[in-house]
Structure 1
């Protein structure tokens, strides 16, 4: 969130003189980007990358990606790739859940993702705040993911993509309602515009369903996650970012497994009593392994790494605009790959949602929290 005295990154940062008053956040775990006068000070824990004095050396392996282009262009390319990957998740979920239980799909997906991040857990356990932050952020994210998966059982992928965009309207609302920011008239206009857009969207294409409700609820839960991630972004140091994320992904995996057990208690008890059958089940060729691995390693882990690299060289405002296009990419992929179609009112509603999200990000709220984080760089006049 933009602070009373704007902070700028150090001169030796790859961001140069770009404002870091509000960063972009990890979209892979639904921590979207916000603008300089928007809703998030540093946009979750990825903002720690912006605060690092030696960020050019903090991720040396980034230099091997797209070496023939400028750092800024590389960042823009990577962010667009992440945005398209996240948009494709709606199509992958929709297709996978025609044959696979959503709880089972999510459990396997996040167990794989958590396994990749497991080397960072030992470091996370040395920092109590990183563990607490990871548990809370992971819990909100897990709720968002599970309701999103349930929603995709009956909702159109394209409609779910645009309903998810309501997240960026929820965040400034929470900041205003809980007294951490002052709501502008633009925010209320964005809320009204988004609601009108949703009503038009529901009136077009496939009939409204409970899946639409769950898709909307996932946006609310992801909004709560973003709001709380803002708080933790002020508490954690730069070196705690990745360890915290390892705890978050592990928490998502744990809640996904618990939800699977709650949804299928008899099958869970049977597999616990006969663990050998669990291995046989996982070896079943009917499981959409391509989609599971793509979502776990590609969208979750690959997207996170790409964002860490990209956000060292791209401003938060540019990232916010790119992320606003995610529903557009999602609807386009659903149009091509799933044959989903809308009427005129549906496209008008989709346009209203995108415009409202962009307005909320670029002109959302005024920060009332003037306390600087302990490892923020000094303000420059």
Structure 2
């Protein structure tokens, strides 16, 4: 595996802890409130790097940031009424969406990666699928997956045109700004903003710190750096490891058991990622992915 792919594995490892953390935070806050506040924290971390960001980076950062914002808000809204496992499975559908979206943007569809993506989704289904469906929450989560799939495609196309720290900073500043505007507008005529401080307890503070500083500021930078050299479809496939790491953390830290179907599903996801790396798949700079 290349160092860039390993960096994306690291990103996915950190993201594996976000589903239970989001579940904790959305007990007290709405999905939009959690998303806006995590981006504000992330933006504070990136302020030293905002100076001298080129105008084109601000433009691309606005597009990418808006897609991430929409994806995260929709995912958090869905988590208010469905389990984190179900959300993880539905979110993972972006792995299959990315190769087909790539065709629209001129990317060649690679059968190896498409087959690996299908196996990965099947594996995640074994790990995560369960009862407790909620039509609206499911739809919101699938739309979240679509927005993120579009983000992955555009990021792979545009990341190499910018300095990673500048692109990550621009995205985060835009996400924080748009998120705050969205939060204020949605709170008009309600007491949500007035009661917000009283709903932030210690567990929410820790959750927001992890989501904002580690999972957003740190990982968006690492993602922007790594996807300069990794194609969108392969990056999406690496991201399919997210529920695998989530299940691993639950097993190690929370002593949750891993059923036999879930273990088989996890092995399928890992195998799919390894399979995609075999045979010298082209990188993001190769003609097959340009």
When residues 247 and 142 of structure 1 are mapped into structure 2, their CA distance, relative to the original with a 3 A threshold, is: same
Q: Provide closer, same or farther for how the CA distance between residues 297 and 194 of structure 1 changes in structure 2, counting only shifts above 3 A.
A: closer
Corresponding residue for 1:134?
61
Separation in structure 1 between the aligned mates of residue 178 and residue 266 of structure 2, nearest angstrom: 32
Deviation at 1:207, TM superposition (A): 2.7
Matches of residues 1-381 of structure 1 in structure 2 within 5 Å?
A: 23-24=4-5, 33=8, 80=10, 82-124=11-53, 127-175=54-102, 177-178=103-104, 180-194=106-120, 196-197=122-123, 204-210=129-135, 211-236=137-162, 240-267=163-190, 277=194, 281-282=196-197, 285-286=200-201, 288-303=204-219, 307=222, 324-334=240-250, 345=261, 348-349=264-265, 351-353=267-269, 355-356=271-272, 359=275, 370=287
Q: TM-score, normalised by structure 2?
A: 0.75
Q: 1:304 to 1:222 in 2, by over 3 A?
A: closer
d(CA) in 2 for partners of 1:178, 1:108: 34
Is 1:162–1:353's contact at 8 Å kept on the other side of the alignment? Answer: no
CA contact (8 A) 1:108 1:292 kept: yes
Q: In the comparison of the two structures, how many residue pairs are matched?
A: 281
Mapped partners of 1:216, 1:207: distance in 2: 16
- Residue 281 to residue 163, structure 1, CA distance change in 2 (3 Å): closer
Whole-angstrom distance in 1 between the partners of 2:71 and 2:151: 9
* CA shift for structure 1 position 149: 0.9
Structure number with bigger Rg: 1
Question: 1:217 Cα deviation (Å)?
Answer: 2.8
Q: Is the contact between residue 168 and residue 360 of structure 1 (CA under 8 Å) also seen in structure 2?
A: no
Contact 1:84 1:326 in 2 (8 A): yes
1:37-78 deviation per Cα after TM superposition (whole angstroms, max 9, x unaligned): xxxxxxxxxxxxxxxxxxxxxxxxxxxxxxxxxxxxxxxxxx
Distance 1:354 1:212, change over 3 A: farther
Counterpart Cα distance in 2 of 1:322 and 1:369: 19
CA spacing shift, 1:209–1:200, aligned 2, 3 Å: farther
SS of 2:108's equivalent in the other structure is strand
- Give yes or no for contact 2:90–2:141 (8 Å, CA) kept in 1: yes
**What does the per-residue CA deviation read over 1:125-184, in whole Å, with 9 as the maximum and x for residues that have no partner?**
xx1211111111111111111122112222322333344333333322222x22522213
CA RMSD in angstroms comes to 4.1
Between the aligned partners of 2:158 and 2:92, the Cα distance in structure 1 is 23
Q: Is the 1:165–1:357 contact (alpha carbons within 8 Å) kept by the matching residues of 2?
A: no
User: How far apart are the structure 2 equivalents of 1:94 and 1:170?
Assistant: 25
Distance 2:285 2:277 in 1: 17
Distance change (3 Å), C-alpha of 1:221 and 1:295: same
Structure 2: distance between partners of 1:222 and 1:190:
19
How far is 1:245 from its partner? 1.5
Q: Label 1:145 to 1:110 Cα distance change in 2 as closer, same or farther (>3 A).
A: same
* Structure 2 residue ranges without an equivalent (≥5): none
Which runs of no fewer than 5 residues in structure 1 stay unpaired? 1-17, 27-32, 34-78, 272-276, 374-381
Q: Is the Cα contact below 8 Å between 2:46 and 2:169 reproduced in 1?
A: yes
